[in-house]
């Protein structure tokens, strides 16, 4: 079996536990090209919150170096943030973005691969796992691309795109990737996102004074729960809840794809949304997984478990990829523009699998009838930093992750097959590492599939493929219940 490259072969990387060093701004070097980091970006340079976005992209043929290099050149030319480094002022401690020269070869990593290896899937998984305990040197722009021309069960080659979260949020990077790619069916046409429309925000119209009061009440309750969580309110200690220091430990990033048609079938039958169905699947999957973990220690599952997700919520006016392509003002489409929702997951055992979806629908409807993501963003990114400074704000922000069980994100993907690096894309799998949580679940749609991407810390979730199995089985049971037919165990 081929040997997985060790960390010292990941050129330009450091371990996550290394002291983060920055280019220092010396006396007389100040100029108009220095741009202060936003409060959202600044959080990701605080201790214990050194988070990277890592996206696996599978393609159906060998990736050529020239195609990868051309992509990097276009990306740097079109998006200035990829040619900036973080510069720290020695006296004030403030941080700024400063333009610098980009040597593409410093960011394009193509390891030698033994084509006779026993398992390409294990090689790619181990390679990514090694990346999750490394970081990029701050003396250069904080991104790189790894090309793995190794055949796996779902791709002929894999591109791993990695960037520091301070550069932007997940939708920023998705728009960037799509704006530099094309439809597989039409090399001249841009692809479109599954939700290629105005983003749905929590702006429920109040039809009456009472409904308006209900929106305010829901917002107040959600806001206070968020504040309490930054201070003392903790989830139940279950096998899925990580211990302190989780952000520095190795992770496994695994994926499982299911049929989008099956999810739509449940959605239409229950008059719900795709997101309602996905949350219901996760609730049911967690129920199965926790029962298995407690059986291992011969213990019953505790009653009344408090299990919540820190859910990221897009606050942009549009999620249309064309906006990123045609709009010359980068500030309109780029950056870290998300709010937070503390989403409770009911993992009690249910005799009817559809109850998981019904409960998810009720929970999501309450969230929609509030301004929770706007309120939590204002508290975390504006109010606390101004009152107490970025250091205290960073600690409180990190504590929300420590006091909840996992992170959750649901992102629309392309509706049509994508051509990336001159090859047809077989799957997209965005994820993150460095997060102070034992588990992060990203869900992304791509053509006719929905992919669950799990970023699992090895001590907290030692068997992430088992959790993937439980999620897939849960969808199968929910679908059978909708069709009112016997459900054989998958």
Strands 338-344 and 108-109, sheet pairing: unpaired
Q: Which 8-state DSSP code applies to residue 148?
A: E
The residue among 60, 72, 152 whose CA lies nearest residue 110 is: 72
Burial class (CB in 10 A: 0-12, 13-18, 19+), 395: middle
Distance CA 102, CA 27 (A): 24
Tens digit of pLDDT for each residue in 103-127?
Answer: 999 999 999 888 788 888 999 999 9
Compute the radius of gyration of the chain from its Cα atoms: 22
pLDDT of residue 11: 47
Distance CA 309, CA 443 (A): 14
Give the Å distances, CA to CA, from 194 to 42, 173, 224, 260, 415: 31, 16, 34, 11, 5
Burial class (CB in 10 A: 0-12, 13-18, 19+), 258: buried
Distance CA 276, CA 412 (A): 14
What's the domain count of the chain? 1
Encoded tokens for 364: 């999501």
Question: pLDDT tens track of the chain, all 490 residues?
Answer: 334 444 444 544 555 554 444 444 444 444 446 788 887 888 888 888 899 999 999 999 999 999 999 999 999 998 988 999 998 877 777 888 999 999 999 999 999 888 788 888 999 999 999 999 999 988 899 999 999 999 999 999 999 999 999 998 888 888 888 888 888 888 888 777 765 444 444 444 445 777 888 888 999 999 999 999 999 999 999 999 999 899 999 999 999 999 999 999 999 999 999 999 999 999 999 999 999 999 998 888 888 899 999 998 877 765 555 444 444 344 455 667 788 899 999 998 898 999 999 999 999 988 888 899 899 988 888 888 888 888 888 888 889 999 999 999 988 888 889 999 999 999 999 999 999 999 999 999 999 999 999 999 999 999 999 999 999 999 999 999 998 877 766 5
64 is catalytic: no
Here the CATH number for the domain that contains residue 458 is 3.30.559
Residue 299 located in a structural domain: yes
Catalytic residue among 45, 107, 164, 165: 165
Q: Is 134 helix (H, G, I), strand (E, B) or coil?
A: strand
Distance CA 377, CA 359 (A): 26
Residue 316 · residue 199 · CB < 8 Å: yes
Residue 164 located in a structural domain: no
Distance CA 295, CA 301 (A): 8
Q: Which 8-state DSSP code applies to residue 115?
A: T
Residue with tokens 């795709």: 274
Residue 436 located in a structural domain: no
Distance CA 168, CA 454 (A): 21
pLDDT of residue 173: 87
The residue among 28, 143, 131 whose CA lies nearest residue 86 is: 143
pLDDT of residue 318: 57
Residue 53 located in a structural domain: no
The residue among 176, 147, 161 whose CA lies nearest residue 80 is: 176
Exposure class string for 425-453: b at 16+ Cβ within 10 A, else e:
bbbbbbbbbbbbbbbbbbbbbbbebbbbb
Distance CA 288, CA 278 (A): 15
Give the pTM.
0.88
Note the Cα 246 to chain centre separation in Å.
17
The residue among 201, 233, 231 whose CA lies nearest residue 219 is: 201
Residue 310 located in a structural domain: yes
What domain range includes position 258?
A: 209-409+454-483
pLDDT of residue 13: 52
Residue 99 located in a structural domain: no
Residue 383 located in a structural domain: yes
Task: Tell me how long the chain is.
Answer: 490
pLDDT of residue 472: 96
Segment (H or E) for 269:
helix 260-269
Instruction: Give bridge partners of residue 98 from the DSSP assignment.
Output: 85
Strands 439-446 and 406-411, sheet pairing: parallel
Residue 355 located in a structural domain: yes
Instruction: Give bridge partners of residue 457 from the DSSP assignment.
Output: 251
Question: In degrees, to the nearest 5, what angle opens at C-alpha 413 toward C-alphas 42 and 260?
Answer: 135
């Amino acid at each position: 079996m081929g040997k997985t490259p060790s960390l010292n072969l990941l050129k330009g990387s450091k371990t996550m536990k290394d002291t983060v060093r920055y280019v220092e701004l010396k006396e007389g070097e100040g100029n108009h090209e220095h741009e202060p980091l936003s409060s959202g970006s600044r959080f990701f340079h605080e201790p214990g919150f050194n988070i990277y976005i890592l996206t696996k992209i599978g393609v159906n043929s060998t990736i050529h170096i020239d195609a990868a290099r051309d992509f990097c050149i276009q990306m740097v030319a079109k998006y200035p943030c990829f040619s900036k480094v973080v510069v720290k002022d020695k006296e004030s401690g403030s941080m700024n973005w400063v333009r610098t020269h980009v040597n593409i070869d410093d960011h394009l990593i193509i390891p030698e691969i033994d084509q006779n290896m026993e398992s390409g899937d294990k090689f790619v998984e181990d390679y990514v796992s090694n990346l999750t305990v490394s970081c990029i040197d701050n003396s250069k722009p904080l991104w790189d691309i790894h090309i793995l021309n190794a055949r796996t069960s779902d791709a002929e080659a894999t591109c791993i795109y990695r960037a520091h979260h301070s550069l932007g949020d997940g939708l920023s990077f998705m728009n960037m990737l799509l704006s530099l790619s094309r439809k597989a069916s039409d090399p001249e046409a841009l692809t479109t996102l599954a939700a290629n429309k105005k983003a749905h925000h929590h702006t429920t119209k109040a039809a009456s004074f009472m409904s308006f009061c209900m929106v305010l009440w829901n917002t107040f309750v959600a806001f206070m729960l968020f504040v309490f969580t930054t201070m003392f309110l903790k989830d139940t200690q279950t096998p899925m809840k990580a211990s302190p220091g989780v952000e520095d430990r190795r992770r496994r990033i695994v994926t499982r794809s299911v049929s989008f048609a099956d999810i739509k079938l449940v959605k239409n039958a229950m008059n719900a949304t795709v997101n309602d169905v996905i949350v219901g699947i996760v609730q049911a999957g967690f129920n199965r997984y926790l029962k298995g973990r407690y059986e291992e220690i011969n213990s019953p599952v505790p009653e009344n478990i408090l299990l919540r997700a820190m859910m990221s919520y897009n606050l942009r006016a549009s999620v249309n990829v064309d906006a990123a392509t045609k709009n010359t003002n980068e500030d309109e489409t780029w950056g870290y523009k998300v709010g937070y929702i503390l989403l409770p997951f009911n993992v009690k055992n249910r005799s009817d699998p559809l109850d998981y979806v019904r409960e998810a629908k009720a929970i999501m409807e309450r969230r929609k009838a509030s301004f929770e993501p706007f309120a939590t963003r204002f508290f975390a990114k504006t109010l606390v930093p101004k009152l107490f400074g970025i250091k205290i704000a960073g600690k409180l922000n990190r504590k929300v992750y420590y006091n909840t069980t996992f992170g959750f994100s649901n992102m629309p993907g392309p509706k049509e097959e994508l051509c990336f690096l001159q090859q047809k894309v077989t799957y997209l799998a965005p994820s993150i590492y460095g997060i102070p949580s034992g588990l992060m679940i990203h869900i992304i749609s791509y053509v006719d599939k929905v992919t669950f991407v799990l970023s699992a810390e090895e001590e907290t979730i030692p068997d992430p493929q088992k959790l993937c199995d439980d999620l897939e089985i849960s969808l199968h049971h929910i679908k059978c219940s909708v069709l009112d037919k016997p459900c054989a165990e998958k």
